[in-house]
Amino acid sequence: MAVPAIMPKLGNTVESCVLIEWKKAVGDAVAEGDVLCDAETDKAVVEVTSPADGVLLAQFHAAGDLVPVLETIAAIGQPGEDVSALRPGQTVEEAAPDAASEPAAVDTTPAAPAVTNGAASTGRIAISPRARNLAQREWLDFSQVTGSGPEGRIIERDIQAALAARPKLSPVAQAKLAQGGYVAPEKGSGPRGRVMTRDLQPLGEEKGESTERKETREIVADEVEVVKVTGVRKVIAERMLASLQTTAQLTLNASADARALQALRARFKASGESFGLQAVTINDLVLLAVARTLPQHPILNAHFQGDTVSRYRHVQLGMAVDTPHGLMVSVIRNADELSLRQISTEAKRLAAACQERRVAPDELTGGTFTMTNLGGLGIESFT
C-alpha cells in the first residue's frame, strides 16, 4: 500500500514551506531516508526524506509551491498502486468516483465550463479543497465555474477546464488582476488575443469612460511593476507584520563612549594565539555584555504571553544575521554560561551556517532575547 511523504513541521511557528527542488523524479526507486526534495522555511533550507522503500509514484506539488506543513507532497509505494486517496485535500467523492458518472481524468477531456453560479442551495459555493487551492494559486474566480461533481460540487478538473478556457494574460496583467478590483475581458488586444494590462477594466467602471481618463490610467499602470512575493521574502514580511501587531512598541536611545571597548579589542588582537582571542570582534563583546547583563535583570529575559510572563533561567541569545536570502536569527545556547572565546566561536559558526544555508532548524528557534547590530552599516539608531 502506498504511503505518503509529508512536508515536515520545522519549528513551532512554521506554517508552510517552499518546495525548492525535487531530487527524485516520478518512477525513481527510493530507499527509506533518501532525499526526495529540498524545502525552504523563512530561516533555512532542509531536506525532506522518503519514509519508506519503494518507488516515487507521484508528486503532488511542483517546485516553487508554498506547501502547508504536514501536507502530503508525494506518494511512495510499488508500481501500479493507487495513490488517489493520498492527494492533498482529496474528498471521498474525488478519491472514489462512480465509474458511470465520474470517469478517470486521464480518459476525459472536460468541456469549458458555462458561466453560471456554482453555489449550493445554502448560498455557499460547493468546492473541494483541492479545487479551491488550485483556483487560488491561479487567481481564478471560481464563483463563475460550473461544478461537475456530486450535487454540482466544483472539483479539480472543473478548475482545470476553466483555466484552459480563460484568456491568456501577460505576466503584468496577471499580477495586477491578482490584486483585485479588475476584471479581464474575453479577448485582449495583444498577440492572439492575449490580455494586456491596458485591457483590464476596473470593477464598477462606467462604460462611458473618457479616452483621456483611460489613457492616464494606462500610463500609470505601465509605470508600476507588480512583483509577487513568495518564499522567504513572503514569510519574513508576515513575521515582521505579526511582530509589529503583537509586541508593545517602545524605543529608547542612549549614547556611550566605546573607546575603552575598542582599546580592549585592540589588546585582544595583539594577544598571543594561545589565548584564542585574536578574532574577537566588537559584536562578540556586545553579545558577551548582553549575556552577562540579562541574568541580573530577569524581566528582560522573558516573554509576555496573555496574562503570564515566562522568565527563563538561562539566556538563549538570538543573533540577527543578514544573508542574501533574507534575515535569520540564530541562537547561541546558554550564552550566560559561555566565555568570550566560546561566544565568539559560536557566533562565527552560526553566521557562516546562515550565509551558506547549512543552519539547522533547531539553531533558529527558542531564543529568549535577540541582539541586532547594524553599526557596520553606519546605522546609529533603529527600531
43-53: per-residue pLDDT in tens? 677 889 999 99
Q: Give how far the C-alpha of residue 326 lies from the chain's centroid of Cα atoms, to the nearest Å.
A: 12
| Residue 64 belongs to a domain | yes
Is 123 domain-assigned? Answer: no
Domain boundary among 88, 117, 147: 88
The answer to whether residue 99 scores a pLDDT higher than 50 is no
Model pLDDT, residue 230: 66
Q: pLDDT band for position 117 (50/70/90)?
A: very low
pLDDT of residue 114: 42
Q: For the chain, how many structural domains are there in total?
A: 2
Domain presence at residue 345:
yes
Give the domain extent around 270: 258-377
Question: For 251-276, what is the mean pLDDT?
Answer: 88
End-to-end CA distance of the chain: 54
The last residue of one of the domains, among 36, 67, 88, is 88
pLDDT recorded at residue 189 = 75
- If you search the block for the grid coordinates 531516508, which residue do you land on? 33
Q: What is the mean pLDDT of residues 303-322?
A: 89
The larger pLDDT score, comparing residue 220 to residue 199, is at 199
Cα 201 to Cα 183: distance, rounded to the nearest angstrom: 5
Pairing of strands 308-311, 369-371: unpaired
Per-residue pLDDT reduced to its tens digit, 278-292? 899 999 999 999 999
Bridge-partner residues for 54, per DSSP? 30
pLDDT at 220 over 60: no
**CATH assignment of the domain containing 365:** 3.30.559.10
Please state whether the predicted TM-score (pTM) of the whole model is above 0.75. Answer: no
If phi > 0 it is left, if psi is from -120 to 50 it is alpha, else beta; for residue 357 that is: left
Given 68, 88, 108, which residue is the final one in a domain?
A: 88
Grid cell locating 101: 458518472
- With H, G, I as helix, E, B as strand and everything else as coil, classify residue 277: coil
What pLDDT sits at residue 378?
A: 84
Confirm whether 336 is domain-assigned.
yes
Q: Is the per-residue pLDDT at 340 higher than 90?
A: yes
What is the signed CA dihedral for 331, 337, 338, 339, rounded to 10 degrees? 150
The CA distance from 121 to 141, in Å, is 19
Tell me the mean pLDDT in the region 356-374: 85
In a domain, 294, yes or no: yes
pLDDT > 70 fraction of the chain, expressed in percent and rounded:
78
Quote the pLDDT of residue 27: 94
Average pLDDT, the chain: 79
Task: Tell me: pLDDT of 359 over 50.
Answer: yes
Does 159 map to a domain?
Answer: no
Torsion of CA 218, 219, 223, 229, to 10 degrees: -10
Residue 221 pLDDT exceeds 60: no
Question: How far, in Å, CA of 174 to CA of 195, rounded?
Answer: 9
Q: Is residue 36 part of a domain?
A: yes
Residue 5 sits at φ, ψ, to 5 deg, of: -100, 125
β-bridge mates for residue 309, sequence order: 304
Which position has the higher pLDDT, 228 or 118? 228
Mean pLDDT of 262-271: 91
Q: What is the number of H-type helices and E-type strands within the chain?
A: 9, 15
More confident residue, 370 or 199: 370
Within 13 A of 111's CA, how many CA atoms are on the CB side?
6
More confident residue, 261 or 241: 261
C-alpha cell at position 362: 533547531
Question: Per-residue pLDDT tens for 130-155?
Answer: 788 787 777 677 777 888 877 788 88
CATH number for the domain that contains residue 37: 2.40.50.100
Q: How many CB atoms lie within 10 A of CB 354?
A: 25
**Is-contact 73 21, C-beta < 8 A?**
no
Tell whether the model's pLDDT for residue 163 goes beyond 90: no
Domain assignment present for residue 297? The answer is: yes
